[in-house]
């Protein structure tokens, strides 16, 4: 491959853990309401339903998620006492400030890509301020020529990114853990993709991956260079 090849990396749950902390927040919220007589499974199902429903309005991120939890809390308890509100605030604080530590092998892989002379762009979704704080805390920002945050990922937003940074569709690879937001939008644009298949991917991000010779599957970022690219790169 020549130096104009561009790797477009997802961030959350591709380069570092994220969904785990949302699951922990959910479980803490369920346990909190169970103490006050709520049925845990009912609360959990309502969280999932409301969370998915609200995405088109609120977008992704911990603050919209906590707003969803607060709505459910007030519907169940109506006037929660201070100890409940304090416990709820602690759940939100933990979620907003969770550790941002690259997965094993991520730094080595990014270093190898740099040594190959390829371009790197970080492409993530959510609330820009929150995502940029996590990127800075990760210590990975120096590997990327650009860190792009969009409210949600679509084929259109991916093509806009390519236009802005002069990336050719046939000279790029999208790497991510989400079939809905990372892999299928890339395939819809005729762009190569590597699906990092990890346990615990958020249900809202799961969907069948389009059948395509442009996609390969690995189980961690450190595998992407070992397996090789599943497509013709022209270099």
pLDDT tens sequence across 156-206: 999 999 999 999 999 999 999 999 999 999 999 999 999 999 887 766 677
Average pLDDT over residues 19-25: 94
Name the band, by pLDDT with cuts 50, 70 and 90, for residue 208.
confident
**pLDDT at 58 (0 to 100):** 64
pLDDT over 90 (residue 3): no
Give CA–CA dist 171/142, Å, rounded: 22
In the block, tokens 């809202």 appear at: 204
Q: Which residue intervals of 35-127 are DSSP H helices?
A: 40-58, 62-77, 82-96, 106-115
Q: Is the dihedral of CA 60, 64, 70, 72 positive or negative?
A: negative
Name the band, by pLDDT with cuts 50, 70 and 90, for residue 233.
very low
pTM of the predicted model, to two decimals?
Answer: 0.89
Q: What's the token pair of residue 163? A: 């236009």
pLDDT over 60 (residue 224): yes
**pLDDT at 92 (0 to 100):** 96
Measured between its terminal Cα atoms, the distance across the chain in Å is 4
Mind listing the pLDDT tens digit for each residue in 89-105? 999 999 999 999 999 99
Which CATH architecture does the domain made up of 6-17+101-227 adopt?
3-Layer(aba) Sandwich (3.40)
Summary mean pLDDT of the chain: 90
Crossing angle (nearest 10°) for helices 82-96 and 19-34: 170
Average pLDDT over residues 21-35: 96
**pLDDT at 42 (0 to 100):** 96
Give the total residue count for the chain: 235
HSE at residue 5, side-chain half, CA atoms within 13 A, is 19
**pLDDT at 213 (0 to 100):** 85
Give CA–CA dist 105/128, Å, rounded: 26
Average pLDDT over residues 3-7: 87
pLDDT over 70 (residue 232): no
The whole-angstrom distance between residue 209's C-alpha and the CA centroid of its chain comes to 17
Q: Where are the domains of the chain?
A: 6-17+101-227, 19-96
**pLDDT at 27 (0 to 100):** 97
Helices (H) and strands (E) in the chain, counts: 9, 6
């Amino acid at each position: 491959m020549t130096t104009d090849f561009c790797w477009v990396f997802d961030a959350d749950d591709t380069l570092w853990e994220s969904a785990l902390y949302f699951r922990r927040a959910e479980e803490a919220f369920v346990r909190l309401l169970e103490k006050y007589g709520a049925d845990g499974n009912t609360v959990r199902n309502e969280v999932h339903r409301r969370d998915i429903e609200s995405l088109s309005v609120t977008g992704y991120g911990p603050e919209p998620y906590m707003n969803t939890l607060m709505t459910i809390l007030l519907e169940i308890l109506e006037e929660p006492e201070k100890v409940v509100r304090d416990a709820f605030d602690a759940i939100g604080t933990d979620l907003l400030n969770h550790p941002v530590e690259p997965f094993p092998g991520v730094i080595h892989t990014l270093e190898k890509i740099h040594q190959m002379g390829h371009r790197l762009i970080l492409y993530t979704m959510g609330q820009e301020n929150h995502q940029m704080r996590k990127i800075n805390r990760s210590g990975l920002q120096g590997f990327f020529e650009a860190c792009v945050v969009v409210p949600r990922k679509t084929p259109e937003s991916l093509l806009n990114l390519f236009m802005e940074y002069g990336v050719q569709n046939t000279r790029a690879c999208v790497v991510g853990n989400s079939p809905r937001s990372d892999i299928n939008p890339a395939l819809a644009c005729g762009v190569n993709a590597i699906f990092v298949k990890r346990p615990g991917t958020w249900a809202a991000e799961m969907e069948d991956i389009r059948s395509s010779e442009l996609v390969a599957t690995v189980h961690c970022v450190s595998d992407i260079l070992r397996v090789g690219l599943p497509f013709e790169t022209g270099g």
